[in-house]
Structure 1
């Protein structure tokens, strides 16, 4: 699980919105290859995007770090603080994830 927090300096939200198409395009590619399972934006008190939570699946930490090094929000200084935590998806939710649906249903 990746929890990413936007910076708080002026112009960060505008930069987020400018970079967002690149961030979303990378997410689409990751969905196709199965490395991005689920995610969404963290909202501040005003309902404005201020970070993100992503459930990702990489073979090891090195590959996850390689992705982070190319993530558009990091490269362009939107995400300023990123936490990475191991995360276990319970079996009852695996059927919701195309990458695991077939094996979860079988066993």
Structure 2
């Protein structure tokens, strides 16, 4: 199943986000390599300050997604205050 995660940071979470970013990115790179992460990036405000994340991902089912979120450092450490989870179906591009 494919999902889009819209993750909004808690107020004043930037310092915590930056302190945990290396661990977050290391895990994301592993998950990209094994196919669970499709793409993603930071949500920016008008001053280009990170205020959240968008993650496109693929898991066997919602239970597997929930298990990932239990281990995701931004979720565990309270960087992400609100996570909207949308089931999606990606476009199959002609060159893929």
With normalisation by structure 1, the TM-score equals 0.83
Structure 2 residues not aligned, in runs of 5+: none
**Is the alpha carbon distance of 1:92 and 1:47 closer, same or farther for their aligned partners in structure 2, counting shifts above 3 Å?**
same
Which residue of the other structure, out of 2, 13, 21, is the alignment partner of 2:5? Answer: 2
Paired with 2:81 and 2:49, the residues of 1 have a C-alpha distance of 17
2:60 is matched with 59
Paired with 1:50 and 1:20, the residues of 2 have a C-alpha distance of 13
SS at match of 2:87: coil
Q: How many residues align?
A: 93
Structure 1 residues not aligned, in runs of 5+: 96-107
With normalisation by structure 2, the TM-score equals 0.92
Structure number with the bigger relative contact order (C-alpha 8 A, sep ≥ 6) is 2
Paired with 1:94 and 1:35, the residues of 2 have a C-alpha distance of 20
Paired with 1:4 and 1:17, the residues of 2 have a C-alpha distance of 16
Q: Which has the higher helix share?
A: 1
Say if 2:29 is the partner of 1:31: no
Say if 2:16 is the partner of 1:18: no
Paired with 2:95 and 2:7, the residues of 1 have a C-alpha distance of 24
CA root-mean-square deviation:
1.3
Q: CA deviation at 1:93?
A: 6.9
SS at match of 1:84: strand
Q: CA deviation at 1:30?
A: 0.3
1:21-100 → structure 2 map (5 Å cutoff): 21-92=22-93, 95=96
The runs of 4+ residues in structure 1 deviating greater than 6 Å are: none
Structure index of larger Rg: 1
